[in-house]
Structure 1
Amino acid sequence: MREIILSNGKAVQVECLSCALTSGKIMPDGGVITETKYFHAHQDVAYPIKGLVILASKRHIKCFDELTEEEKIDYIYLLSKIRKAQREVLGIEYVYYFYNEDTTHHFHTWMVPRYDWMYDFGRSVESVRPVLLHARNNMNNEENMKEVMDAINVLTLALNKREAF
Protein backbone atom coordinates (compact mmCIF):
# COMPACT_ATOMS: atom_id res chain seq x y z
CA MET A 1 0.00 0.00 0.00
CA ARG A 2 1.05 3.55 -0.74
CA GLU A 3 -0.16 6.78 0.75
CA ILE A 4 -1.28 9.38 -1.78
CA ILE A 5 -2.04 12.97 -0.78
CA LEU A 6 -4.99 14.37 -2.74
CA SER A 7 -5.31 18.02 -3.75
CA ASN A 8 -7.72 18.59 -0.85
CA GLY A 9 -5.00 17.44 1.56
CA LYS A 10 -6.70 14.13 2.32
CA ALA A 11 -4.40 11.08 2.44
CA VAL A 12 -5.58 7.78 0.96
CA GLN A 13 -3.99 4.35 1.13
CA VAL A 14 -4.00 2.49 -2.20
CA GLU A 15 -2.06 -0.21 -3.97
CA CYS A 16 -2.67 1.50 -7.32
CA LEU A 17 -4.25 4.94 -7.56
CA SER A 18 -5.39 4.34 -11.13
CA CYS A 19 -7.14 1.10 -10.18
CA ALA A 20 -8.86 2.90 -7.30
CA LEU A 21 -9.96 5.79 -9.54
CA THR A 22 -11.05 3.85 -12.63
CA SER A 23 -12.97 1.32 -10.52
CA GLY A 24 -14.74 4.01 -8.50
CA LYS A 25 -13.18 3.06 -5.13
CA ILE A 26 -11.86 6.61 -4.92
CA MET A 27 -13.97 9.33 -6.47
CA PRO A 28 -11.99 12.28 -7.81
CA ASP A 29 -13.26 15.76 -6.99
CA GLY A 30 -16.17 16.35 -9.33
CA GLY A 31 -16.33 12.70 -10.35
CA VAL A 32 -15.58 11.22 -13.72
CA ILE A 33 -15.37 13.78 -16.51
CA THR A 34 -15.97 11.19 -19.21
CA GLU A 35 -15.20 7.56 -19.85
CA THR A 36 -15.29 4.92 -22.53
CA LYS A 37 -14.98 1.17 -22.48
CA TYR A 38 -11.18 1.53 -22.24
CA PHE A 39 -10.42 4.93 -20.67
CA HIS A 40 -11.38 7.12 -17.75
CA ALA A 41 -10.90 10.91 -17.65
CA HIS A 42 -10.88 12.88 -14.41
CA GLN A 43 -9.51 16.05 -12.87
CA ASP A 44 -6.05 15.38 -11.46
CA VAL A 45 -6.57 14.45 -7.81
CA ALA A 46 -3.22 15.81 -6.62
CA TYR A 47 -3.03 19.28 -8.19
CA PRO A 48 -5.91 21.80 -8.11
CA ILE A 49 -5.50 23.37 -11.56
CA LYS A 50 -8.69 23.88 -13.50
CA GLY A 51 -8.83 21.79 -16.63
CA LEU A 52 -5.91 19.53 -15.66
CA VAL A 53 -7.26 16.25 -16.98
CA ILE A 54 -5.83 12.78 -16.53
CA LEU A 55 -6.78 10.28 -19.22
CA ALA A 56 -6.11 6.83 -17.74
CA SER A 57 -6.36 3.32 -19.10
CA LYS A 58 -8.86 1.15 -17.28
CA ARG A 59 -6.54 -1.79 -17.82
CA HIS A 60 -3.53 -2.07 -15.55
CA ILE A 61 -0.83 -1.50 -18.16
CA LYS A 62 2.17 0.82 -18.20
CA CYS A 63 3.27 1.33 -21.81
CA PHE A 64 1.77 2.77 -24.94
CA ASP A 65 2.74 -0.32 -26.93
CA GLU A 66 0.62 -2.49 -24.63
CA LEU A 67 -2.58 -0.90 -25.93
CA THR A 68 -4.73 -3.03 -28.20
CA GLU A 69 -5.72 -1.66 -31.60
CA GLU A 70 -9.17 -0.78 -30.25
CA GLU A 71 -7.65 0.99 -27.25
CA LYS A 72 -5.28 3.00 -29.49
CA ILE A 73 -8.19 4.25 -31.58
CA ASP A 74 -10.26 5.03 -28.48
CA TYR A 75 -7.31 6.79 -26.83
CA ILE A 76 -6.55 9.22 -29.64
CA TYR A 77 -10.24 9.90 -30.26
CA LEU A 78 -10.93 10.63 -26.59
CA LEU A 79 -7.71 12.63 -26.10
CA SER A 80 -8.59 14.90 -29.02
CA LYS A 81 -12.23 15.19 -27.90
CA ILE A 82 -11.14 16.30 -24.42
CA ARG A 83 -8.64 18.76 -25.91
CA LYS A 84 -11.30 20.29 -28.11
CA ALA A 85 -13.59 20.71 -25.10
CA GLN A 86 -10.77 22.30 -23.08
CA ARG A 87 -10.34 24.88 -25.83
CA GLU A 88 -14.00 25.49 -26.61
CA VAL A 89 -15.59 25.53 -23.16
CA LEU A 90 -12.69 26.48 -20.89
CA GLY A 91 -10.75 28.73 -23.28
CA ILE A 92 -7.51 26.79 -22.74
CA GLU A 93 -5.19 27.84 -25.56
CA TYR A 94 -2.23 25.55 -24.82
CA VAL A 95 -1.76 22.20 -23.11
CA TYR A 96 1.35 20.24 -22.15
CA TYR A 97 0.92 16.48 -22.55
CA PHE A 98 2.86 14.08 -20.35
CA TYR A 99 3.07 10.34 -20.41
CA ASN A 100 5.69 8.31 -18.58
CA GLU A 101 6.18 4.57 -18.42
CA ASP A 102 7.99 4.37 -15.09
CA THR A 103 4.85 5.33 -13.24
CA THR A 104 3.32 3.54 -10.28
CA HIS A 105 -0.09 4.07 -11.92
CA HIS A 106 -1.70 2.79 -15.10
CA PHE A 107 -0.89 4.10 -18.55
CA HIS A 108 -2.15 7.67 -18.43
CA THR A 109 -1.67 11.03 -20.05
CA TRP A 110 -1.62 14.31 -18.18
CA MET A 111 -3.24 17.17 -20.07
CA VAL A 112 -1.77 20.18 -18.24
CA PRO A 113 -3.26 23.50 -19.32
CA ARG A 114 -0.94 26.48 -19.55
CA TYR A 115 -2.24 29.66 -17.92
CA ASP A 116 -0.51 33.04 -17.90
CA TRP A 117 0.45 32.74 -14.21
CA MET A 118 2.44 29.60 -15.04
CA TYR A 119 4.93 31.46 -17.20
CA ASP A 120 6.42 32.96 -14.03
CA PHE A 121 7.90 29.46 -13.55
CA GLY A 122 9.25 29.25 -17.13
CA ARG A 123 8.09 28.17 -20.55
CA SER A 124 9.58 24.70 -20.85
CA VAL A 125 8.80 21.24 -19.59
CA GLU A 126 11.07 22.02 -16.64
CA SER A 127 8.54 24.56 -15.39
CA VAL A 128 5.77 22.02 -14.91
CA ARG A 129 6.90 20.51 -11.60
CA PRO A 130 7.21 23.93 -9.89
CA VAL A 131 3.79 24.87 -11.31
CA LEU A 132 2.22 21.71 -9.91
CA LEU A 133 3.82 22.20 -6.50
CA HIS A 134 2.72 25.83 -6.45
CA ALA A 135 -0.85 24.76 -7.18
CA ARG A 136 -0.83 22.09 -4.48
CA ASN A 137 0.73 24.35 -1.86
CA ASN A 138 -0.91 27.68 -2.68
CA MET A 139 -4.11 27.13 -4.65
CA ASN A 140 -5.96 24.69 -2.43
CA ASN A 141 -8.41 27.36 -1.31
CA GLU A 142 -12.15 27.78 -1.58
CA GLU A 143 -12.06 30.25 -4.49
CA ASN A 144 -9.74 28.15 -6.66
CA MET A 145 -11.48 24.88 -5.80
CA LYS A 146 -14.76 26.44 -6.94
CA GLU A 147 -13.11 27.30 -10.28
CA VAL A 148 -11.75 23.75 -10.56
CA MET A 149 -15.18 22.25 -9.80
CA ASP A 150 -16.91 24.60 -12.24
CA ALA A 151 -14.43 23.57 -14.95
CA ILE A 152 -15.06 19.89 -14.22
CA ASN A 153 -18.80 20.42 -14.54
CA VAL A 154 -18.47 22.36 -17.80
CA LEU A 155 -16.14 19.74 -19.32
CA THR A 156 -18.38 16.89 -18.16
CA LEU A 157 -21.46 18.48 -19.71
CA ALA A 158 -19.67 19.26 -22.96
CA LEU A 159 -18.12 15.82 -23.33
CA ASN A 160 -21.14 13.76 -22.36
CA LYS A 161 -23.96 15.83 -23.82
CA ARG A 162 -22.83 16.13 -27.40
CA GLU A 163 -21.53 12.88 -28.85
CA ALA A 164 -20.42 14.64 -32.04
CA PHE A 165 -18.24 17.13 -30.09
Structure 2
Amino acid sequence: MRKITLSNGNTVEVECLSCALTSGLIEPEGGVVMETEFFHAHQDVAYPIKGLVILASKRHIKCLDELTEEERIDYITALSQIRKAQRETLGIEHVYYFYNEDTTHHFHTWMVPRYEWMYEFGRSVESVRPVLLHARNNMNSKGNMKEVINAISALKEALRS
Protein backbone atom coordinates (compact mmCIF):
# COMPACT_ATOMS: atom_id res chain seq x y z
CA MET A 1 0.00 0.00 0.00
CA ARG A 2 1.10 3.54 -0.76
CA LYS A 3 0.14 6.60 1.24
CA ILE A 4 -0.83 9.53 -1.01
CA THR A 5 -1.44 13.11 0.12
CA LEU A 6 -4.23 14.73 -1.87
CA SER A 7 -4.37 18.43 -2.75
CA ASN A 8 -7.00 18.97 -0.04
CA GLY A 9 -4.51 17.68 2.57
CA ASN A 10 -6.26 14.35 3.14
CA THR A 11 -4.23 11.17 2.80
CA VAL A 12 -5.33 7.87 1.30
CA GLU A 13 -3.69 4.46 1.22
CA VAL A 14 -3.99 2.55 -2.04
CA GLU A 15 -2.24 -0.21 -3.92
CA CYS A 16 -2.52 1.70 -7.21
CA LEU A 17 -3.64 5.33 -7.39
CA SER A 18 -4.81 5.05 -10.99
CA CYS A 19 -6.88 1.92 -10.27
CA ALA A 20 -8.47 3.76 -7.33
CA LEU A 21 -9.27 6.79 -9.50
CA THR A 22 -10.42 5.06 -12.68
CA SER A 23 -12.62 2.63 -10.71
CA GLY A 24 -14.22 5.42 -8.65
CA LEU A 25 -12.76 4.26 -5.30
CA ILE A 26 -11.21 7.72 -4.96
CA GLU A 27 -13.21 10.64 -6.32
CA PRO A 28 -10.87 13.27 -7.75
CA GLU A 29 -11.51 16.88 -6.72
CA GLY A 30 -14.37 18.12 -8.92
CA GLY A 31 -15.07 14.67 -10.37
CA VAL A 32 -14.15 13.12 -13.68
CA VAL A 33 -13.24 15.63 -16.40
CA MET A 34 -13.73 13.15 -19.24
CA GLU A 35 -14.01 9.42 -19.65
CA THR A 36 -13.66 7.25 -22.74
CA GLU A 37 -13.72 3.52 -23.25
CA PHE A 38 -10.00 3.29 -22.45
CA PHE A 39 -9.06 6.49 -20.58
CA HIS A 40 -10.03 8.55 -17.56
CA ALA A 41 -9.24 12.26 -17.28
CA HIS A 42 -9.24 14.11 -13.96
CA GLN A 43 -7.72 17.05 -12.15
CA ASP A 44 -4.41 16.03 -10.62
CA VAL A 45 -5.23 14.92 -7.07
CA ALA A 46 -2.01 16.26 -5.54
CA TYR A 47 -1.52 19.68 -7.13
CA PRO A 48 -4.27 22.34 -7.03
CA ILE A 49 -3.50 24.10 -10.33
CA LYS A 50 -6.53 24.93 -12.44
CA GLY A 51 -6.55 23.00 -15.67
CA LEU A 52 -3.86 20.49 -14.65
CA VAL A 53 -5.34 17.34 -16.14
CA ILE A 54 -4.17 13.74 -15.90
CA LEU A 55 -5.19 11.41 -18.71
CA ALA A 56 -4.80 7.86 -17.36
CA SER A 57 -5.31 4.50 -18.99
CA LYS A 58 -7.97 2.34 -17.42
CA ARG A 59 -5.93 -0.73 -18.21
CA HIS A 60 -2.98 -1.39 -15.93
CA ILE A 61 -0.08 -0.75 -18.31
CA LYS A 62 3.01 1.43 -18.01
CA CYS A 63 4.32 2.16 -21.51
CA LEU A 64 3.05 3.92 -24.60
CA ASP A 65 4.00 0.97 -26.78
CA GLU A 66 1.71 -1.30 -24.73
CA LEU A 67 -1.37 0.52 -26.03
CA THR A 68 -3.43 -1.34 -28.61
CA GLU A 69 -4.18 0.43 -31.88
CA GLU A 70 -7.68 1.22 -30.64
CA GLU A 71 -6.28 2.62 -27.36
CA ARG A 72 -3.70 4.76 -29.23
CA ILE A 73 -6.44 6.35 -31.33
CA ASP A 74 -8.58 6.92 -28.22
CA TYR A 75 -5.57 8.38 -26.37
CA ILE A 76 -4.58 10.94 -28.99
CA THR A 77 -8.22 11.89 -29.60
CA ALA A 78 -8.87 12.44 -25.88
CA LEU A 79 -5.58 14.31 -25.41
CA SER A 80 -6.44 16.61 -28.34
CA GLN A 81 -9.98 17.25 -27.12
CA ILE A 82 -8.79 18.12 -23.62
CA ARG A 83 -6.08 20.42 -24.96
CA LYS A 84 -8.58 22.22 -27.18
CA ALA A 85 -10.90 22.69 -24.19
CA GLN A 86 -8.01 23.98 -22.05
CA ARG A 87 -7.21 26.61 -24.69
CA GLU A 88 -10.74 27.64 -25.65
CA THR A 89 -12.43 27.39 -22.25
CA LEU A 90 -9.68 28.28 -19.76
CA GLY A 91 -7.47 30.42 -22.01
CA ILE A 92 -4.42 28.19 -21.39
CA GLU A 93 -1.93 29.05 -24.11
CA HIS A 94 0.91 26.69 -23.19
CA VAL A 95 0.99 23.20 -21.69
CA TYR A 96 3.84 20.88 -20.71
CA TYR A 97 3.10 17.21 -21.32
CA PHE A 98 4.79 14.49 -19.25
CA TYR A 99 4.57 10.76 -19.04
CA ASN A 100 7.02 8.39 -17.43
CA GLU A 101 7.38 4.64 -17.67
CA ASP A 102 8.86 4.00 -14.24
CA THR A 103 5.68 5.02 -12.48
CA THR A 104 4.18 2.94 -9.70
CA HIS A 105 0.76 3.08 -11.36
CA HIS A 106 -0.89 3.25 -14.79
CA PHE A 107 0.28 4.86 -17.97
CA HIS A 108 -0.80 8.47 -17.68
CA THR A 109 0.00 11.83 -19.18
CA TRP A 110 0.20 15.03 -17.18
CA MET A 111 -1.09 18.12 -18.99
CA VAL A 112 0.51 20.91 -16.94
CA PRO A 113 -0.66 24.40 -17.91
CA ARG A 114 1.77 27.28 -17.79
CA TYR A 115 0.53 30.44 -16.08
CA GLU A 116 2.36 33.74 -15.72
CA TRP A 117 2.98 33.21 -11.98
CA MET A 118 4.94 30.05 -12.76
CA TYR A 119 7.72 31.87 -14.59
CA GLU A 120 9.24 33.04 -11.31
CA PHE A 121 10.37 29.39 -11.03
CA GLY A 122 11.89 29.44 -14.54
CA ARG A 123 10.82 28.85 -18.11
CA SER A 124 12.04 25.31 -18.72
CA VAL A 125 10.99 21.80 -17.88
CA GLU A 126 13.22 22.08 -14.78
CA SER A 127 10.80 24.63 -13.35
CA VAL A 128 7.85 22.24 -13.27
CA ARG A 129 8.76 20.38 -10.06
CA PRO A 130 9.19 23.60 -8.02
CA VAL A 131 5.88 24.87 -9.48
CA LEU A 132 4.08 21.69 -8.44
CA LEU A 133 5.55 21.77 -4.94
CA HIS A 134 4.64 25.45 -4.59
CA ALA A 135 1.06 24.63 -5.60
CA ARG A 136 0.83 21.69 -3.18
CA ASN A 137 2.25 23.68 -0.27
CA ASN A 138 0.77 27.14 -0.89
CA MET A 139 -2.35 26.97 -3.05
CA ASN A 140 -4.86 25.04 -0.95
CA SER A 141 -6.85 28.13 -0.08
CA LYS A 142 -10.62 28.05 -0.44
CA GLY A 143 -10.40 30.71 -3.15
CA ASN A 144 -7.92 28.80 -5.29
CA MET A 145 -9.73 25.50 -4.78
CA LYS A 146 -12.94 27.19 -5.94
CA GLU A 147 -11.11 28.31 -9.12
CA VAL A 148 -9.84 24.74 -9.66
CA ILE A 149 -13.35 23.32 -9.25
CA ASN A 150 -14.81 25.97 -11.58
CA ALA A 151 -12.15 25.11 -14.18
CA ILE A 152 -13.02 21.41 -13.90
CA SER A 153 -16.70 22.21 -14.41
CA ALA A 154 -15.90 24.38 -17.43
CA LEU A 155 -13.72 21.65 -18.97
CA LYS A 156 -16.40 19.01 -18.38
CA GLU A 157 -19.01 21.20 -20.04
CA ALA A 158 -16.78 21.95 -23.04
CA LEU A 159 -15.92 18.28 -23.49
CA ARG A 160 -19.60 17.26 -23.45
CA SER A 161 -20.36 19.45 -26.47
TM-score range, shorter chain: over 0.9
Provide the alpha-carbon RMSD of the alignment.
0.3
Q: TM-score, normalised by structure 2?
A: 0.99
Whole-angstrom distance in 1 between the partners of 2:113 and 2:8: 20
Q: Name 1:134's counterpart in structure 2.
A: 134
Q: Name 2:69's counterpart in structure 1.
A: 69
Q: Name 1:109's counterpart in structure 2.
A: 109
Gaps of 5+ in 2: none
**What's the CA shift for 1:153?**
0.2
Q: Percent identity?
A: 80
**1:51-62 map, 5 Å:** 51-62=51-62
The one-letter amino acid paired with 1:122 is: G
Consecutive aligned runs of 4 or more in structure 1 exceeding 4 Å deviation? none
The one-letter amino acid paired with 2:141 is: N
Whole-angstrom distance in 1 between the partners of 2:45 and 2:26: 10
**What's the CA shift for 1:155?**
0.2
Aligned length: 161
What SS class does the counterpart of residue 123 from structure 1 fall into?
Answer: coil
What SS class does the counterpart of residue 77 from structure 1 fall into?
Answer: helix
Q: TM-score, normalised by structure 1?
A: 0.97
Whole-angstrom distance in 2 between the partners of 1:108 and 1:154: 22
Whole-angstrom distance in 1 between the partners of 2:99 and 2:117: 23
Partner deviation per Cα, 1:92-148 (whole Å, 9 max, x = no partner): 000000000000110000000000000000011100000000000000100100000
